[in-house]
Amino acid sequence: MTASPATDAAASLIAELVAHGVRDLVLSPGSRSQSLALAAVSAASAGHLRVHVRIDERVAGFTALGLSRESGVPAAVLCTSGTAAANLLPAAMEAFHSGIPLLLLTADRPPELRGVGANQATIQPGMFAAWAREQIDAPVPGDGDWTGLASRAIEIARGADAANGHSGVAGPVHLNLPSREPLSGSLPSIDIAPGEAPRPAVGEPLVLDRGPRTVVIAGADAGPDAEEIAHVGSWPLIAEIVSGSRFGRQIVHGYRALLSDDDLGGRIERAVVLGHPTLSREVARLLARTDVDVIAVRRGGEELNLNGRTTAVASVAVAPGTGDREWLGAWLSASAAQAVDLSERAPDSEGLASTDVAARRAAVTAELAAVRRPLDRELLVDAVWRATWPHDRLVFGSSRLVRVADAVLGGKKVPVHANRGLAGIDGTIATATGIAIASQAGGAPGVTRVLLGDLAFLHDVGALLLPPDETEPRIQVIVGNDGGGTIFDGLEVATTAPRADLDRAFYTPHTVRLEEVARAYGWEYQRITTRTALDQALTTPAGGRQLIEVPLTR
């Protein structure tokens, strides 16, 4: 086989990616990207890279997003030219708004074939401009050199200074990679030495004084840092269920009602925000108040500034001193009254053992009723929450269920993920698959559970397809199926639109048989209607991919 400048450049680029910490590359097949694909597969065969093949580029993009979201190291997604590249846009937008490092590698035609009607050629340079931390239109191999492109892209994706600013903020980087025929040839012999991804320097934290009446707001991706700040500052912690911060002594239950209480929410003087809060209007109203000093730890590509005077910082610390016990105590006292207890009552052991026939019959009837109790949304989210532990991962889709979970679930230190940068329903299963692969790498234990509604499931159904030669991740996709988009029940349109129009344009009811979908894609399937059966399904050790359908009422 003859040599090819495209192959030589591709081999060098893949080696440079690996040398600077990239361990995962998601590949969608295509002609123009063949040299890069073959170089990646060769590196995978040598044990230097994990390659994951997906035929749908949108699925590929969100799978890479999930890999990056879990590991903190940018994964790469590679595709051919044309509409293939455009399908990466939703994942790129989510990565930008969530502050997730991601490398977008799009193969392209050479400049002489752009804008002249050549097959599968479009305007790729700059196509992600609004959402990429930096975009690089590489030279054609033979006309220029790709050396240094990968290392530069990785540094910027992790937060190094970029052409569009956002220093210290992670996000996507676009490498547009044109090449001329011959598109593949014999691979050169290049030593590949796996290395670590560089970490950008972080400036000194803003030190928070203890004076103002303060609350800590933890939005999506806040993580344990929010709980630590609340603990050290002795401040109430308002932690969304998607934050990964809902644990510890300072968490506030029923925070929506308490933020609307003039004696508590009305007296707030300062809010310290970590992550991206999106689940409640009450938090949004608080952060829009001009009489509240808002300090927001920057994560995504846009600064949080709902009140026009928010201070964006890279990190925060708390000044030494004593916290305001009266302020914290008032919140925790009110919080205790708001806590929701969804646990089942213990069996009536005395009644079950009673010699009185009527008493024993009543106890048995109550026990059977508890076992047969049908699942509702509250019991569903509670069961999934209770079954999940620190070695597991929990992924919430942007469905009605995440708001129910936010309203009723208590504190627990488990790793939680959700695509709340733009709160779209697309890519949930693909993202969770990437999270599962990354978290279970090297034989690590745990199950990744995905909790989502039926429309979010159907929107990403293509992500159920996995190649037979790739190791199956341990993943449970739990679908709360109410036959349509009942999340719209809580919006203004539900009170203004005619019922028939509401059904057709918003609820979009369907009759999809999820069991047949699962079988088509090779997933194990269970349809579960009671809490006891759901607890058993979630906690019974099982390998591979499981789809659990839970029917819910409209």
Q: Where are the beta strands (DSSP E) in 190-338?
A: 206-208, 214-218, 237-239, 270-274, 293-297, 311-313, 316-318
Tokens for 51, please give them.
């390659």
What is residue 364's predicted lDDT score, i.e. its pLDDT?
65
Beta sheet of 237-239, edge-to-edge order: 237-239, 214-218, 270-274, 293-297, 311-313
pLDDT in tens, 174-189: 999 999 999 888 888 8
Handedness of CA 19, 21, 27, 31 (dihedral sign): negative
What is the Cα–Cα distance from 351 to 367, expressed in whole angstroms?
10
Strand (E) or helix (H) holding 17: helix 5-19
CA angle, 106 as apex, 100 and 109 as ends, to 5°?
160
Residues 6+ positions from 427 with CB-CB distance below 8 Å: 58, 59, 61, 62, 65, 90, 91, 94, 419, 460, 463
Which overall architecture, per CATH, does domain 373-551 show?
3-Layer(aba) Sandwich (3.40)
What is the Cα–Cα distance from 177 to 78, expressed in whole angstroms?
10
Each as own residue / partner, the long-range contacts of residues 365-372 (CB below 8 Å, 24 or more positions apart, any chain) are 370/344, 370/345, 371/530, 371/532, 372/530
Q: Are 192 and 200 in contact (CB under 8 A)?
A: no
What is residue 371's predicted lDDT score, i.e. its pLDDT?
62
What is residue 496's predicted lDDT score, i.e. its pLDDT?
79
What is the Cα–Cα distance from 235 to 264, expressed in whole angstroms?
13
Q: Report, in this order, helix, strand and coil percent for the chain, each rounded to 5.
A: 40, 15, 45
What is residue 202's predicted lDDT score, i.e. its pLDDT?
73
Q: Are 23 and 50 in contact (CB under 8 A)?
A: yes
Phi and psi (nearest 5°) for 183? -85, -15
Phi and psi (nearest 5°) for 99? 70, 45
Domain ranges of the chain: 5-178, 206-338, 342-372, 373-551
Tokens for 501, please give them.
């129009």
Strand (E) or helix (H) holding 403: helix 400-408
Tokens for 31, please give them.
């002609």
What is the Cα–Cα distance from 87 to 188, expressed in whole angstroms?
31
DSSP states of 449-502: EEEEEHHHHHHTGGGG---TTSPPP-EEEEEEE-SS-GGGGGSTHHHHS-HHHH
What is residue 373's predicted lDDT score, i.e. its pLDDT?
73
What is residue 454's predicted lDDT score, i.e. its pLDDT?
95
- Give the C-alpha distances (Å, rounded to integers) separating 253 from 129, 340, 432: 41, 8, 27
Q: Radius of gyration (Cα) for the chain, nearest Å?
A: 26
pTM here?
Answer: 0.93
Which of 156, 230, 243, 235 is CA-nearest to residue 200? 156
Q: Are 65 and 102 in contact (CB under 8 A)?
A: yes
Which of 53, 120, 125 is CA-nearest to residue 81? 120
What is residue 200's predicted lDDT score, i.e. its pLDDT?
75
What is residue 166's predicted lDDT score, i.e. its pLDDT?
62
Tokens for 505, please give them.
């344009």
Tokens for 320, please give them.
């030494």
Report residues of the chain scoring pLDDT below 50: none
What is residue 150's predicted lDDT score, i.e. its pLDDT?
96
What is residue 374's predicted lDDT score, i.e. its pLDDT?
83
Domain 206-338: CATH superfamily, name plus number: TPP-binding domain (3.40.50.1220)
What is the Cα–Cα distance from 146 to 136, expressed in whole angstroms?
11
Helix (H, G, I), strand (E, B) or coil at 325: helix
What is the Cα–Cα distance from 425 to 317, expressed in whole angstroms?
35
Q: Are 457 and 469 in contact (CB under 8 A)?
A: no
Q: Which residues of 15-49 are buried (b: 16+ CB within 10 A; e: fewer)?
A: bbbbbbbbbbbbbbebebbbbbbbbbbbbbeeebb
**Residue whose tokens read 């707030």:** 268
Specify the CATH number for 5-178; select among 3.40.640.10, 3.40.50.970, 2.30.38.10, 3.20.20.70: 3.40.50.970
CA angle, 421 as apex, 209 and 314 as ends, to 5°?
30
